Amino acid sequence: MFQRLLVCTTLSDGLQRLVDFVPSLAAANIQHITFLHCVPLNESGAIPRVDTQKVEEARKLLAVQKHKVPDHVSVETKVETGRPVDVVFRVAAEQQSDLLLMGYSLRNALAEKLFGSTTIELYGKTTIPILSVRPQLISTYTTEELDLRCRHLFRHFLLPYDGTNAAKYSVEQVKQRHNVSQPILEACYVCWVMDDCDRRNIPQAPFVEQAKTELANVKAELEALNLTVVTEVRAGSPVVEVIEAALEPDISAIVVSNNPRGAFLQLSVPSFAQDLLRHSWHPVLYFPFTR
């Protein structure tokens, strides 16, 4: 599904632990891994300069034990200085990365607007898929738990679906990236949430039947790829229902895309994807609309 992974770590988000789990990531068919950390310039003097001490400390923390790296996997460590967003895009281009892995902490929309966020800016500009994980979880996993998490990054997806272009694009990306001959993805749970807030006096049955019909088509498309597929129609708040739907199945990640007609993360623009990113404790796999 993905072969060239760029792990962007702040060294306080738990992702630095993955240097000890390269074989586990390789089990998810990752063939090239780059660990990246960006060190801010030292501005204590009159002229900003590279903080050589922090650079060296970061390199030691991200050192990979070469004897544990499988023969078919290549690993690089890069400690750079500069504006984090610019560094991430430059290194991603150099490494031909097809997935960015980064932490995403719980913040509300106002905090993001006032204080900014490297992750938020990356989401708004990237053409490369991003897998976001909660640092709070990565930091508390035991070694055994983190090993399994790395092996099962792409094992079972939850796809929120509502017939929009964003939802169709998510399904299309999953289909294109699924390798039938070397399957990593095993199952998909496709969930349509009907928000009935504005339709309290309108019969819901016709809308439910229409949703079931469209979900049946999506199920057929995914089952043609030898995937196990379950579909469901729920009613209520989309974000709340999707998060609840993810509780019972063994979901590896929730897959979303953005509306191609609008910005992804803006305080004044309602967005299912941005709300899910803020509230979900499950990893969120984001496919930017690139057409």
| CATH code for the domain in which residue 138 is found | 3.40.50.620
Alpha-carbon separation of residue 76 from 7, 32, 36, 69 (angstroms): 10, 8, 9, 11
Q: Is the four-CA dihedral 100, 103, 109, 115 of positive or negative sign?
A: negative
Question: Are 185 and 237 within one domain?
Answer: yes
Residue that terminates a domain, selected from 126, 152, 178: 152
Question: Are 177 and 136 within one domain?
Answer: no
pLDDT in tens, 18-48: 999 999 999 999 999 999 999 877 666 666 6
What spatial distance separates the first Cα and last Cα of the chain, rounded to whole Å?
Answer: 20
Total domains present in the chain: 2
What is the distance between the alpha carbons of residues 18 and 222, in angstroms, rounded to a whole number? 31
Structural domain range at position 192: 154-282
Stretch (H or E) spanning 231: strand 228-235
pLDDT in tens, 102-154: 988 655 453 444 334 677 778 888 899 999 999 888 989 999 999 999 999 99
The residues, ordered by sequence, that sit 6+ positions from 90 with a Cβ below 8 Å of its Cβ are none
11 domain residue, yes or no: yes
Strands 253-257 and 99-103, how do they pair? unpaired
217 domain residue, yes or no: yes
Q: What is the pLDDT of residue 122?
A: 83
Q: Is 265 a residue whose pLDDT tops 90?
A: no
Residue that terminates a domain, selected from 152, 183, 205: 152
What is the distance between the alpha carbons of residues 12 and 103, in angstroms, rounded to a whole number? 10
289 domain residue, yes or no: no
One-letter identity of residue 284: V
Strand partners, 39: 81
What is the distance between the alpha carbons of residues 201 and 93, in angstroms, rounded to a whole number? 52
